A = this chain, B = another copy of it.
Amino acid sequence: MTALIGIDWGTTSFRAWRMGAGGEVLDRVDDGPGILAAAGLPGGFRQAMQDRIGSWLGTAPVIASGMITSRNGWIETPYLPLPLDAAALAANLTLHEGIHFVTGAVSDPDGPAPDVMRGEETEIIGHLSGGGGDGLFVLPGTHSKWARAEGGALTGFRTVMTGEVFGALRDHTILGRLIQPGPGSEDAFRRGVEAGRQDGALLGRIFSARTLALMDRLAPDQVADYLSGLLIGDEVAQGTRDAGGPVTIIGRGDLALRYQTAFAVLGIAARITPPGMAQRGLWEIARMGKLA
């Protein structure tokens, strides 16, 4: 019997779970159009959802998190201020066209550098609801999120545009001209992390990706890994500057492993959470909201 249908709907990704009475996963969909693609389809978001999980619909409440509640999503919802826990997210669900939308979070809205997230708050709730402790988190991605949880609530976060800037540097600056594709070089990545952890202007240090290649001290098929390491190394060194204790990586696949390598190079304890944080967070928020 289906108790809840959960959707994590991001800019470029769509994942959904059909859950049973104890929150266990009965069925899952791991691919589908992100909001950018779905918005352009005939029938839009509703049809995109129908196409992927139509056979589930009507059997249980639907809850959704992620960029689907942004200006370019299905419905734009306000950001909630910090501190933010599962109860506050549950109390602020937006019911629209039969779907319970989890809204995003805002950090320091009146300060000089406000910040926002949509979706990652649910993953952090998933971690906390499963007995994971407070502490410092990184959620690597196109826009990495560094977040802190205290007393079971999200209390602060910062977006770092590492992934997107890497792509822009590789594809649209002089740094990319010497790059040749290759099998991937962990050694070059580690050299990059060492350059990234150093002090000094980041936009100066990245130039070493070019000069080392010009001087034949970095092979053309190593430049991209070096540059990736340099940006991630800078991010991790700065993100952990004032941190006490270990860092929890919420993420999957190659990118999470890259961050784990960077933490290792920097001598900082880090562990990757098991998969399923978004699904667990959706369950927890639904449970607090009496949906499941």
Contact = CB atoms under 8 A, between A and B. Distances in A.
B231 A113 contact: no
B205 A113 contact: yes
Interface residues of A, number: 46
A159 interface: yes
Main secondary structure of the interface of A (DSSP, over half): helix
Q: How many copies does the complex hold?
A: 2
Contact of A112 (B109, B143, B208): B208
A225 interface: no
A169 B160 contact: no
A195 interface: yes
B173 A207 contact: no
B161 A172 contact: no
A81 to B, nearest CB: 13
A165 B204 CA distance: 11
Contacts of A194: 112
A109 B216 CA distance: 11
Given A194-B112, A215-B114, A239 B159 contact: no
Interface in A113-167: 113-116, 143, 146, 158-162, 164-165, 167
B201 A173 contact: no
Interface in A163-204: 164-165, 167-169, 171-175, 194-195, 198, 200-204
Interface of A: 71, 109, 112-116, 143, 146, 158-162, 164-165, 167-169, 171-175, 194-195, 198, 200-208, 211-212, 214-215, 217, 231, 234-235, 238-239
